[in-house]
Structure formats: C-alpha cells, structure tokens
Amino acid sequence: MLEVDLAGVKLRNPIVIASGILGISRGLFLRLDREGAGAVTTKSVTLRPRSGNPLPNIVELEFGLVNSMGIPNPGIELMCEEIRSAVPHMSVPIIGSIAPTSAEEAKTMASLLVESGASAVEVNTSCPNVQDIGINLINKSVELVRSIDREVDVPILVKVTPHVQDVPSFVRTLSEAGADGFTAVNTLKAMVIDVDLLRPVLGGVVGGLSGPAVRPVAVRFIYEIRKTLPGAAIIGTGGVENWRDAAEMIMAGADAVGIGTALRRGLKVINEVTDGLRSFLIERGLTLDDIRGVVP
C-alpha cells in the first residue's frame, strides 16, 4: 500500500535516502535497501575525485545539523563501479546525484550513471558548501538539465535550494527544459560560531542547515511546487524525523520523502517511518493518493 510511482520509477515505499547520506558504496546501497528504503540517492558525484572541506565538517544542534562536507567523493568512474556492482543485488532503485561544473560534464556523468544502472538522475545545483559547483551553478540549471535531457531517458530531478526566491518560475522554467521532478530542499546556508573560542566551528566556515529546523521551509517548497506543476515528481526532503513529518510532506504534495539527518539516530528510523505511515493509512482507511497534495 506504500508503493509510489516517481516519474515512472517504481518505489516500494516513499522513503528515499537523501543525497550525501551514506550513498557512497556498494555495501551501503545494499544495506539501505535491506533496512527498508524505497530508493537510495548517491552522494553527489563530480567528474574527478574530490577531497571536500577541512574538518570539522559537522556541528550537531538540538534542531538539526550544520554540515560543510564540500562534496567529497571518489569521482564518477569509481562511483559508477560501486553502482554497477550493487544494482544486480538491489531490490530498490538508485538515484544518481551529480554536481557538474558544466553542461558537458553533466551530460557525461548522467549517461555514465544511467549506463551503470541508476534509475534517475538528480542534478545538484543547490549544495551551499562549495565554491565551484553546487549552488554556484544555479543559474546554469536550465542549461544542465537540457543537456542531460538530450542524453538520457531516465527521469531528471533537480535538487532545489531553499534560497530560491520565486519558486513557481524557477520550477516552471526547469520543467520546460526537461526536468521531470524536484527534490526539495537541499540545506539552508548557515554558520555556527563557538563563542568561547571566538571562531567559526566548521572547517568550511559556512555550511548548510538540515534537520527539523528546515522542515517547515521544505513543506512550503513542496506546496508551491505542487501548486505550480501538478504533474511533476516531487521528493520532499528536509527534517523528516518520523512518519508524521513524512505524512506532512505528502499532504503538501510530495510523491516521495527524502530522509537524511534523521539517520543519525540509526538506520531503524527508515522502518519506523514506513511502519508509521502504513498504520496511519490503515487506521484512517486512506491511501497515499488520498492524502497526496490534499491541503487546499
């Protein structure tokens, strides 16, 4: 009863592991599958290996995390090897996330990911922790999506930054360029200062806020995207900690729900969320379709 169709990709349940959360190796893809995820997104990958930002990369707060990883990843080739060796053993789809510097790179990486078995491509023009990629390419999003759309047949999702001002025109333009859906949201630019030591905590100085603090922002993004594009696929992401939060995102209009920060409490959170959703639907005699985008 939890199955969803995400732009044609079938998920056994709506819970998608968010990009940058554990999706870096064959063993982790398979483990997240076993732990009950509906789909797994890869760490955003770049053409060449990338070492990321100096540590500390993470600050834990009561209401979430601020991270400045800086997209450390082994590069597209090795990521594709991990995907290729996992896919034959996976029962859920892998969404390949890319953080390209140009349309050319976007096209190359997207087709390599699809060749390796990724069921969808997510374009990250929203990571706030990098100088050369991520959010700094937001103005190129349309160009990137177009070049990928010409190259691959799988759904293309755009990972949306909560810094976008005019959500309707942003998503409409991307949809016209070939985006099939949106993952909203990425982290919100943030900073933490240690007042005893009079200095910023993160090695990257500025980072991105995730977790419960951003959830209402994510809910509003989903709501606006759904109102603008009734047919787009939406993975609502940001601060989902339990089934109620997941239900909230679906009621705002999400097809699927991303989970990231909540996994700091353990991988059991995945099943807790799906079990909770299922019980809720059974008790109320509802289906996911009944509650999706139900709010006026």
Partner 1 sequence: MKGRIRKVDEVAEGVRRIVVDIHLKADPGQFVMVWVPGVGEAPFSVSDIENGLQLVVALRGSVTRKIFSMSEGDVLPVRGPYGKGFTLVKGTVALVGGGYGLAPFPLLSKRLKDLDSHITLLLGFKGSKNYIDPQKVGILADDFIVATEDGSVGFKGLVTEILEDLSGYDMVYACGPERMAVELLRIVNPSKVEISVERLMRCGIGVCGSCVLDPLGLRVCSDGPVFRGDVLLRIEDFGRFWRGWDGRKEEIR
Out of 56, 117, 212, 276, which residue is the one contacting partner 1 (CB under 8 A)? 56
User: Residue number with the shortest CB distance to ligand FMN?
Assistant: 20
By CB under 6 A, is residue 148 in contact with ligand FMN?
no
* Binding partner of 278, given ligand FMN, partner 1, none, CB within 5-8 angstroms per partner class: none
By CB under 8 A, is residue 65 in contact with partner 1?
yes
Q: How many CB atoms lie within 10 A of CB 294?
A: 12
CB 29, CB 94: distance < 8 Å: yes
Q: Name 159's Cβ contacts closer than 8 Å, sequence gap at least 6.
A: 19, 97, 122, 123, 124, 125, 126, 182, 183, 184, 186
Q: How far is the CB of 90 from partner 1 (least distance, A)?
A: 12
Out of 238, 246, 247, 269, which residue is the one contacting ligand FMN (CB under 6 A)? 238
By CB under 8 A, is residue 196 in contact with partner 1?
yes
DSSP run (H or E) holding 105: helix 103-116
Q: How far is the CB of 167 from partner 1 (least distance, A)?
A: 27
Q: What are 30's two structure tokens?
A: 């398979």
Which one, 205 or 286, has the nearer CB to ligand FMN? 205
Separation between Cα atoms, residue 195 and residue 182, nearest integer Å: 38
Separation between Cα atoms, residue 125 and residue 139, nearest integer Å: 9
3-state helix, strand, coil in the chain (%, to 5): 40, 20, 40
Task: Please confirm, yes or no, whether 127 is among the known catalytic residues.
Answer: yes
Residue 22 — left, alpha, or beta (φ > 0 → left; ψ -120 to 50 → alpha)? left
Out of 20, 128, 155, 293, which residue is the one contacting ligand FMN (CB under 6 A)? 20
By CB under 6 A, is residue 19 in contact with ligand FMN?
yes
By CB under 6 A, is residue 71 in contact with ligand FMN?
yes
By CB under 8 A, is residue 261 in contact with partner 1?
yes
By CB under 8 A, is residue 24 in contact with partner 1?
yes
Q: Which stretch binds partner 1 (CB under 8 A): 57-65, 91-99, 148-156, 247-255?
A: 57-65
Separation between Cα atoms, residue 2 and residue 22, nearest integer Å: 23
Q: How far is CA 17 from CA 95, 200, 227, 238, 294, in A?
A: 9, 29, 25, 11, 24
List, as one string, the DSSP characters of 245-293.
Answer: HHHHHHHHT-SEEEE-GGGGG-THHHHHHHHHHHHHHHHHT--HHHHTT
Out of 9, 114, 233, 240, which residue is the one contacting ligand FMN (CB under 6 A)? 240
By CB under 8 A, is residue 60 in contact with partner 1?
yes
Q: How far is the CB of 29 from ligand FMN (least distance, A)?
A: 15
Active site residues: 127
Instruction: Catalog residues that contact ligand FMN under the rule CB under 6 A.
Output: 18-20, 43-44, 65, 67, 69, 71, 97, 124, 127, 159, 186-187, 210-211, 214, 237-240, 258-262
